[in-house]
Structure 1
Amino acid sequence: MSTSQDDLRAIALAEFASAGYVGTSLQRIAELAGLSKSSVLYHYGSKEQLLEAAIGPAVDRMEEILVPLNAVGLAAANRQEFLEEFVDFLLQYRLEVHMFINQGPALVDVPVIDRANAVIVRLAEFFSTHTSSVEEKARFGVALGGAAYMLSTARNLGLDAPPIDETRAALVTILSELLTPVRIP
């Protein structure tokens, strides 16, 4: 059975998320993939390139989510759509989000991590400038950060995951309720 580039990215992402980027060697990824290290390097010239391939699509997706947010804001009419997209993002990219949250601050000068950190800063700056009180800022931080942390760490804590549809519906409802009192012009 041959290992595709998609398989290799998935194996690398899982290992980066569990053992850490710094603690993961290309040799370990090769072993898990049933390949030689030179085969991994054939597809990806370095561990950094493999990390980019593994988490770059998640960073790209989050950047896409921010485009309309910056254009139309988060007035009540747009808030629900943003929350649904954000929850869908978290559900699709759990391991990548885990990397951003738990390893992002320690991996400065790794280009894809710098890009992910910049997206997170842009999101935080948006809420900082578009909310008027400390309470509103805290609501967004707790709601979005809490959802991200909960979904990205459940696997590491050995928690059984409820069905995706139930999780999605619950998160969208909870986030909506947490953010209902926030008034954004």
Structure 2
Amino acid sequence: MPEARDPEQTRERMLRCALELFTERGYEGASIGMIASGMGLTKAAVSYHFRTKEDILNAVVEPAFSDLEAFFEKWGTGPLKPAKRREAIAGYVRLLVKHRGLLAFLAKEGDRENPEPVMRQWPHVGEKVAQLFGGDQEDLSERLYFAAVIRGLALAPVKFPEVGDDDLREHLQIAAERMLARPRRRPA
């Protein structure tokens, strides 16, 4: 059966097209009509799968949220012991690489003054990751360190779109271990 006639494959193509347009033009600058045009479909065909542009955005980010939920269920809230921390870092790096397209969109769109409701959840994800790897540090320099590291790791895949997933994962793993697997500083 041709891809365009399989509803699930068509839906997935729509989501990929939407993410590309959201990243290129911003959420506000993309439209359902543009998604339809980019796929050679009618606006009604897109609306059959998604009533609103916000429904499309929710469907675009849902896989990442599901993966992150499973990640946090597995690793808890931290802080982790060194051996477990290294395993969690590997899992986190896999997620960053898997969702690198979404991270590119978030890099451009994530700091908007009035983000869509689903986008308001992203800052909390960074806080949870910092908590997992850094714990509940009272020391301001440690909190700043983990905030910068988590943000930097999430932005790194965006800076190297030409690098394949396997190479990116390997090198990002090395960088993440250098930054996150180091012994935690104890307050004086």
TM-score range normalised by the length of the shorter chain? 0.7 to 0.9
3-state SS of the aligned residue for 1:74? coil
> 5+ residue gaps in structure 2?
none
Whole-angstrom CA distance in 2 between matches of 1:108 and 1:118: 16
Quick one: structure 1 residues 177 and 140, their matched pair in 2 at CA, closer, same or farther if it must change by over 3 Å? same
Q: 1:69 aligns with which of 71, 75, 99?
A: 75
1:69-148 correspondence runs (5 A):
69-71=75-77, 73-106=79-112, 108=114, 110-124=116-130, 129-148=135-154
Whole-angstrom CA distance in 1 between matches of 2:64 and 2:121: 11
3-state SS of the aligned residue for 1:105? coil
Shift of 1:26: 0.8
1:142-181 correspondence runs (5 A):
142-155=148-161, 160-161=162-163, 163-181=164-182
Whole-angstrom CA distance in 2 between matches of 1:184 and 1:61: 30
Quick one: structure 1 residues 53 and 148, their matched pair in 2 at CA, closer, same or farther if it must change by over 3 Å? same
Amino acid at match of 1:42: Y
Instruction: Please say if residues 90 and 148 of structure 1, whose CA atoms lie closer than 8 Å, have aligned partners that are also in contact.
Output: yes
Quick one: structure 1 residues 108 and 128, their matched pair in 2 at CA, closer, same or farther if it must change by over 3 Å? farther
3-state SS of the aligned residue for 1:106? coil
User: Is residue 42 from structure 1 mapped to residue 36 from structure 2 by the alignment?
Assistant: no
Whole-angstrom CA distance in 2 between matches of 1:85 and 1:126: 12
Whole-angstrom CA distance in 2 between matches of 1:130 and 1:69: 15
The residue aligned with 2:23 is 17
Amino acid at match of 1:115: Q
Instruction: Please say if residues 63 and 119 of structure 1, whose CA atoms lie closer than 8 Å, have aligned partners that are also in contact.
Output: no
Quick one: structure 1 residues 107 and 99, their matched pair in 2 at CA, closer, same or farther if it must change by over 3 Å? farther
Quick one: structure 1 residues 121 and 132, their matched pair in 2 at CA, closer, same or farther if it must change by over 3 Å? closer
1:67-113 Cα distance to aligned partner (Å, 9 max, x none): 33335532202111111111111111012122333312327462321
Deviates more, 1:26-35 or 1:113-122: 113-122
* TM norm structure 2: 0.81
Amino acid at match of 2:38: L
Quick one: structure 1 residues 172 and 70, their matched pair in 2 at CA, closer, same or farther if it must change by over 3 Å? same
For these two proteins, the number of residue pairs brought into alignment is 180
Deviates more, 1:76-85 or 1:137-146: 137-146
Deviates more, 1:81-90 or 1:55-64: 55-64
Quick one: structure 1 residues 81 and 180, their matched pair in 2 at CA, closer, same or farther if it must change by over 3 Å? closer
Deviates more, 1:89-98 or 1:138-147: 138-147
> 5+ residue gaps in structure 1?
none
User: Is residue 8 from structure 1 mapped to residue 18 from structure 2 by the alignment?
Assistant: no
The residue aligned with 2:184 is 183
* TM norm structure 1: 0.83
